[in-house]
Structure 1
Amino acid sequence: MLIHSAPLAETAEALRSGELDLHAYLDQVCDRIEQIDPQVLAFLPEPGRRRRLYAAADELLATFPRPAGRPLLFGVPVGVKDIIHVNGFVTRAGTEVPPEHFAGEEAICVRRLRDAGALIAGKTVTTEFAYFEPGPTRNPHNLSHTPGGSSSGSAAAVAAGMVPLALGTQTIGSVIRPAAFCGVVGFKPTLQRIPTAGVLYFSRTLDQIGLFTQDVAGMEAAASVLCEEWEDVRLSEDDIPVLGVADGPYLRQASQEALAAFKQQLQRLEAEGYTVWHVPTLLDIEAINQWHRRLVFAEFAREHATLYARFGHLYRPRTAEIIELGKQVSDAELSELRSRCIELRDRLEKQMQQAGIDLWVAPAAPGPAPAGLQSTGDPNMNLPWTTVGFPVLTVPAGKVYDLPVGFQMAARFGDDELLLAWAKEIETVLSA
């Protein structure tokens, strides 16, 4: 069985209290990686993984011998996408370019996890430089289907129960889409709510760190560790968000099967007392899709200018293509494209205010994970929310063709805490 339960909230509590012995648990984790990962290929190979984790566990137990005072993520093993720097690991970024040319200091997000007691289970597979050239990872729900990208290894590792928490990044749809394809919870916080220092940049304007778990409660715990100035939110029983559906060409990017599943999801929520407003918006989505890509391609080309000039022959075709496209964007145009992100954010938030909407909701992808491993799928259902930097979360919401689909929610800029609080209730309704 490639799918295995690994809820973060329950696991973290058991490790903190001592109910779950840390060494015994790490044996279970390493056993599962050794048994399952040869099929899923979510992790980069690491000889001596078990020995390294044992040593880290010994150090952690020596620091916190008693349950009282143990940090929130005590002993939790975490997968880290291989464009994020981790001390003791080489960052390879899914490419043949020599890794010494983009080495760097450990990422702030990794340090925060370590400070909270987490252990690094290993590096997870990414597409080349977090774009569309896929790695070897397979979807644990069906090995002949893509897990999505670019955070493919992180999503698959959590779905297969190898780790209860993993880090990814998103510039278009690289957290929400693979989370949906793999049937797990994916969360991309508000732009810059988690610092990106220590990450190999694709687009400094739009790169955002994200997380994968199997449970919203666990996601909330992890977010409280990683996000700047996190504040706990407690909702009253009658605090139910109003849901907004962006009717028009944006929604029509989803397949008929995905839209049918989405309609059923909305009906289930309405039966539980949720209000759903259909609002014509993102009517210019085709133009938004185009200028978003032009922006990130331009920044990617600038990020890789020196390396590409020297090692261009090692870049895979689709990666090289976007560098060539990005070179065509002038500095003046790039500045104008960056300003459009703010303008679109203001437009969407104004519509939310006028219509009384708390969350935009949509299918998390145009459909379930496509067959084959040559493509990681279409990120267009995620693109506008990433463009404006809204916090976004997807929860598993049933299946189409025996493959998972996700229900995507986007809140106002900065409303991460409310998004997660509301999502716990929505998760309950959609998982029933």
Structure 2
Amino acid sequence: MIQDAALSTAAQRLRSGAMSAEAYRTKLLDRIDAQDGEIAAFVPADDREKRTSRSCTQLTETYTTRADRPSLFGIPVGVKDIFHVNGMETRAGSDVPPAVLAGPQAASVTAAENAGAYVLGKTVTAEFAYFEPGPTRNPHQLEHTPGGSSSGSAAAVAAGMVPLALGTQTIGSVNRPAAFCGVVGVKPSFDRISTAGVIPAAPSVDHVGYFTQDVVGAQIAGSVLCTDWRPENTPSEIQPKVGVPTGPYVEQADDIAIAAFDRQIDRLKADGYTIREVPMFEEIETINNRHKELVAAEMALVHEPWYREYGDRYAPETAELIEEGRSVGTDALAIDRASRSDVREQIHSRMDDTGVDVLVSPPAPGPAPRGIETTGDPIMNLPWTHAGVPAVTLPIEKTADGLPIGIQCTARFGDDEWLLHWCRSIEATFTEETQ
């Protein structure tokens, strides 16, 4: 069920005229018709054919010459169903009435549309971007979870049903499903992509991110979605100096993930990368607890009016989180929020002390768990999200059972352009190995 839909290739062919927007739209809708009955990446929509046909016609009429076509001309985008989109309901994986959740279109959706893209459809999300899963299955192995909460977006890109999909991350909802589904998952620095028009979970740590099949495509998308994109600031050196965190953080991963990570480090060493150990997150349990408490408290604040009116429509796990968050005091929440900058400073200082450019780590405790009753554990993504530093998951290998295993690459706050530049080098190392 895995098919090619590299954003870099599609964007080039659409802008050059080698492929028409209508032909590409038809190709992807055919894939959805053939596959999504089993994968369930998209929220069902009766008007998808008519709506997307109208979008393609408008794009063709607007950009009459190839020279005028913007970077995402004719690119269909999957949008996680907590983003508001003009003319489409937002359900957020919930039974709360859509009219209650309605709001103005997400700024990130508008940015994509201004660059020539259009919304192919809403993708399935766990309820309110937390842990209660939807029906989406992993395209590599249908009996396994695709991860969450951006389940549909990751699965849709992995299956080649769309070349670009938007998601969000409050703990690990981009980097983890990207690892489980074998795609590139980008969680930019905090607030590099606007969260306006997105139903919040915990505003202090909510990130808008996205999925593609390749790093070049991620760079193209980043240049459109991120504020103040600075490609001219990327470094000239090809290989970054790579840091490997040591201590209790990495020990949270299981034996399969650790063995894969060791192989990945050995491959980087063999390719000439400078590898340095970086002691980090000695107090990982405290970081984990503070982040989880912050998420609970802020989600309780966000949902207070909806939960008061429609609490019986919330899934038990989501309701439990909100109830937990109601008990968090203002002093505790202030400490939790302040710890974000403390963890960011620790990351920066440890990187400075060891002279590394990129930190690499397992993006999940192991491969995608069997069953779709859970979305897996985001524990390997949590500290990077808490600190708000950029994190990119790259697909690297597969288990004997055909489940993807990735690597998570992180950098200093604001160094999103540099991180993606270096990820191209790391991606190339492992691409060459599999060819």
TM-score, normalised by the number of residues in structure 2: 0.98
Match of 2:35 in 1: 36
Match of 1:360 in 2: 359
Say if 2:406 is the partner of 1:417.
no
Q: What are the within-5 Å matches in structure 2 for residues 360-399 of structure 1?
A: 360-399=359-398
Match of 2:278 in 1: 279
Change in 2 beyond 3 A, CA 1:16/1:276: same
Distance 1:429 1:183 in 2: 16
Distance 2:53 2:350 in 1: 52
Distance 1:262 1:124 in 2: 30
Shift of 1:293: 0.3
Distance 2:206 2:252 in 1: 23
Say if 2:418 is the partner of 1:430.
no
Change in 2 beyond 3 A, CA 1:194/1:238: closer
The more displaced of 226-235 and 18-27 is 226-235
Shift of 1:235: 5.8
Match of 1:20 in 2: 19
Q: What are the within-5 Å matches in structure 2 for residues 77-226 of structure 1?
A: 77-226=76-225
Change in 2 beyond 3 A, CA 1:230/1:238: closer
Distance 2:76 2:386 in 1: 31
Shift of 1:236: 6.6
Change in 2 beyond 3 A, CA 1:236/1:355: closer
The more displaced of 237-246 and 34-43 is 237-246
Distance 1:51 1:31 in 2: 14
Task: Decide whether the 8 Å contact of 2:300 with 2:322 is kept in 1.
Answer: yes
Distance 2:225 2:389 in 1: 17
Distance 1:171 1:191 in 2: 10
Task: Decide whether the 8 Å contact of 2:360 with 2:408 is kept in 1.
Answer: yes
Change in 2 beyond 3 A, CA 1:173/1:275: same
Which residue identity lines up with residue 125 of structure 2 in the other structure?
T
Distance 1:271 1:235 in 2: 25
Shift of 1:237: 6.4
Which residue identity lines up with residue 407 of structure 1 in the other structure?
I
Give a deviation string over 1:257-280, Cα, whole Å, max 9, x none: 111111111111111111111122
Structure 2 residue runs of 5 or longer lacking an equivalent are none
Shift of 1:402: 1.8
Task: Decide whether the 8 Å contact of 1:297 with 1:323 is kept in 2.
Answer: yes
Structure 1 residue runs of 5 or longer lacking an equivalent are none
Distance 2:33 2:393 in 1: 29
Aligned residue for 2:138, secondary structure, equals coil
Distance 2:291 2:118 in 1: 36
Q: What are the within-5 Å matches in structure 2 for residues 338-357 of structure 1?
A: 338-357=337-356
Match of 2:319 in 1: 320
Give a deviation string over 1:372-397, Cα, whole Å, max 9, x none: 01110010000000000001101101
Aligned residue for 1:259, secondary structure, equals helix
Distance 2:105 2:183 in 1: 27
Task: Decide whether the 8 Å contact of 2:77 with 2:121 is kept in 1.
Answer: yes
TM-score, normalised by the number of residues in structure 1: 0.98
Task: Decide whether the 8 Å contact of 2:234 with 2:417 is kept in 1.
Answer: no
Give a deviation string over 1:58-114, Cα, whole Å, max 9, x none: 111111011111010000000000001100110000011111111100010000000
Give a deviation string over 1:17-56, Cα, whole Å, max 9, x none: 1100221111111111111100100001111312211111
Shift of 1:332: 2.0
Aligned residue for 1:304, secondary structure, equals helix
Task: Decide whether the 8 Å contact of 1:233 with 1:421 is kept in 2.
Answer: no
Aligned residue for 1:244, secondary structure, equals strand
Distance 2:407 2:29 in 1: 31
Distance 1:262 1:230 in 2: 31
The more displaced of 267-276 and 144-153 is 267-276
Which residue identity lines up with residue 297 of structure 2 in the other structure?
A
Aligned length: 431
Task: Decide whether the 8 Å contact of 1:234 with 1:421 is kept in 2.
Answer: no
CA RMSD between the two structures: 1.0
Task: Decide whether the 8 Å contact of 1:149 with 1:174 is kept in 2.
Answer: yes
Give a deviation string over 1:308-330, Cα, whole Å, max 9, x none: 11111110010001001101111
Task: Decide whether the 8 Å contact of 2:235 with 2:418 is kept in 1.
Answer: no
Distance 2:280 2:260 in 1: 21
Shift of 1:431: 2.2
Distance 1:174 1:373 in 2: 15
Where does structure 1 differ by over 3 angstroms across 4 or more consecutive aligned residues? Answer: 233-239
Task: Decide whether the 8 Å contact of 1:396 with 1:431 is kept in 2.
Answer: no
The more displaced of 328-337 and 206-215 is 328-337
Match of 1:74 in 2: 73
Task: Decide whether the 8 Å contact of 2:358 with 2:409 is kept in 1.
Answer: yes
- Quote the sequence identity (%): 52
